[in-house]
Amino acid sequence: MVAMTPAPTFPLTLRVAGRRVLVVGGGHVATRRALALLEAGAVVVVVAPESEAAIVEAADAGRLTWHPRGYADGDLDGAWLVVTATGVPAVDDRVLADAEARQTWCVKGGDPERASAWVPAVARVDDVLVAVTAGRDPRRAANLRDGVAAAIEAGDLPLRRQRRAVGGDGRTDAPGDGNRGEGSGLGSVALVGGGPGDPGLITTLGRRLLAEADVVVVDRLAPRALLADLPEDLLVIDVGKTPDHHPVPQDAINALLVEHALAGRRVVRLKGGDPYVFGRGGEEAEACRAAGVPVAVVPGVTSAIAVPAAAGIPVTHRGLARGFTVLTAHDDVGSIPGGTDHTVVLLMGVSRLSETCAALVATGRPAATPVAVVEDGFGPRQRVTVGTLATIAARATELGVRPPAVTVVGDVVRLAPAWAAEAP
């Protein structure tokens, strides 16, 4: 026996909004199709003696029309598409035959071989529609769909737009190396927190926005390893700052974001940690809004909590610390609670560590309060140096501690493995 080769098909997407679509049947499959068609804006008419509650509720709400009877001549009048899923072969066959005679596309539940149209396994991720068919294996199609959708969500696929609509007449432009989206209308800015350095700690949304970006404005402490996976023609602008050295001032960074967004580009401002935890993200968001540029904030894993955690230090712990304060060494440390059961997390404080410790002691903290300095948390040179308010500055100088580093002050430091191994 010679195996029959399935007839070739031509995949396409239908715009059903405002168009009459007939659904014959009121069971689970018919209900699922009817609700999906409603979401697509179709004018849905259901014909079935009985229907599931969702159909009845939609009809009562005026979202669709339900005729509580069997299929009859004339039901296909004016229909652009028909879905039949009654579970009764004779009825479904009749609907299919009528649809063929009227040159109306027909989705036939349970019988894809004879249908003239099929419904694929579908997922939507923002403006990307994933539709998968896999022969006669719907579970395989669903698994493939889920895999592709997950890769899109994670930013593992090339998501950057190549053509963008310019106007209502359907014209598009195709941004290349030279224009990067000029003429495409207003762009956008996303302030993305990349976490404390490990590329695996960026959020899924942040990773996806990177994959879609035309321009990335990147900080020194952002997870730069992620840039290696982006297209070579992506415009990357390095505005990294080091302690006491800011080659690109904040006003200039704000202007860069606005400039590229107004030129129609998707801009990602990639930061270390969280954009709103001493990242000046609030100022950047204000600048974008003042210029009429859409701006979104994607939270990140803040180093204030994550870096101590990398060293085995929780910022709160039952019986040891009921709260914590995050400061930079530039702030007035004398204004925070003075007990050792209130954790202090200091960012950007290596160069002023001696003065900060002295100020904490002067405002009531015992000189024996445990302190840990965690360098390059989650990075290749992560190192933990422990001591007390009385000794940590000298130890840090002796060992050559350098930024980036997070300092933790309080009893929770005793939980760190480094404290057990090296405590004074």
Question: CA torsion angle for 320, 326, 327, 333 (degrees, to 10)?
Answer: -30
Checking if the pLDDT of 24 tops 90, the result is: yes
Distance of alpha carbon 71 from alpha carbon 55, whole angstroms = 16
pLDDT value of position 234: 86
Residues 203 and 284 placed together within one structural domain of the fold: yes
Position 188 confidence tier, pLDDT thresholds 50, 70, 90: very high
Integer distance in angstroms from the first to the last C-alpha of the chain?
85
Residues present in the chain in total: 424
Give 268-309 as a DSSP string: EEEESB-TTSSS-HHHHHHHHHHTT--EEEE----HHHHHHH
Whether 142 and 219 share a structural domain:
no
Nearest to 218 by CA among 246, 238, 198: 238
- Identity of residue 237: I
Pick the last residue of a domain from 284, 301, 318.
301
CATH code of the domain in which 387 resides: 3.30.950.10
Same domain for 115 and 43:
yes
In a domain, 149, yes or no: yes
- Compute the distance between CA of residue 19 and CA of residue 320 in angstroms, rounded to an integer: 65
82-91, 232-241, 255-264: which has the minimum mean pLDDT?
A: 232-241
219, 271, 274, 376: the catalytic one is 219
CB count, 10 Å around CB of 89?
Answer: 11
- And the tokens for 316? 């709160």
d(CA 367, CA 357): 9
Q: At 265, which CATH number?
A: 3.40.1010.10
The verdict on residue 144 lying in a domain is yes
Structure tokens at 146: 């889920």
Say if residues 61 and 53 touch (Cβ distance below 8 Å): no
Domain edge (last residue) among 246, 272, 301: 301
Residue 332 annotated among the catalytic residues of the structure: no
The larger pLDDT score, comparing residue 268 to residue 113, is at 268
* Same domain, residue pair 178 and 294: yes
Name the domain boundary from 98, 119, 140: 119
How many H helices and E strands in the chain? Answer: 11, 19
pLDDT tens track for 326-376: 988 666 777 777 788 899 999 888 888 999 999 899 888 999 999 999 999
Is 325 among the domain residues? yes
Give yes or no: residues 297 and 416 share one domain.
no
**Residue 277 shares a structural domain with residue 314:** no
Q: What is the pLDDT of residue 229?
A: 75
Rounded to an integer, what distance in angstroms lies between the CA atom of residue 60 and that of residue 75? 20
- Residue 25 within a domain: yes
For 163, list phi and psi in degrees, rounded to 5: -135, 140
The domain of 59 spans 20-119
Amino acid at 236: V
| Domains of the chain: total | 4
Whether residues 140 and 245 fall in one domain: no
Residue 128 vs residue 90, higher pLDDT: 90
Q: Where are the beta strands (DSSP E) in 178-322?
A: 188-193, 215-218, 235-238, 266-271, 295-298
Secondary element (H or E) of residue 180? none
Catalytic residue among 111, 238, 241, 331: 241
* pLDDT at residue 231 is higher than 90: no
CA 95 – CA 73 distance, rounded (Å) = 9
256: Cβ contacts below 8 Å, ≥ 6 apart: 217, 237, 239, 248
Q: Using alpha carbons only, what angle is made at residue 195 by residues 191 and 198, rounded to the nearest 5 degrees?
A: 135
User: Above pLDDT 90, what percent of the chain?
Assistant: 58
Q: Which two tokens stand for residue 77?
A: 């009048």
Residue 93 placed within a domain: yes
Is the omega angle on the peptide bond into residue 299 within 30 degrees of 0, that is, cis?
Answer: no
5 vs 308 pLDDT, higher one: 308
Q: Is 313 found in the same domain as 241? A: no
Domain check: are 179 and 243 in the same one?
yes
Tens of pLDDT, residues 271-297:
999 999 988 999 999 999 999 999 999
Is 4 exposed, middle or buried, given 0-12, 13-18 or 19+ CB atoms closer than 10 A?
exposed
In the predicted structure, residue 204 carries a pLDDT above the cut 60: yes
Exposure string for 123-142, b = 16+ CB within 10 A, e = fewer: bebeeeebbbbeeeebeebb
Q: Which CATH number is 89's domain given?
A: 3.40.50.720
**271 carries an active-site annotation:** no
Q: What is the pTM of this model?
A: 0.66
Q: Are residues 418 and 320 in the same domain?
A: yes
Q: Mean pLDDT over all residues of the chain?
A: 86
In a shared domain, residues 280 and 339: no
Q: Are 197 and 143 contained in the same domain?
A: no
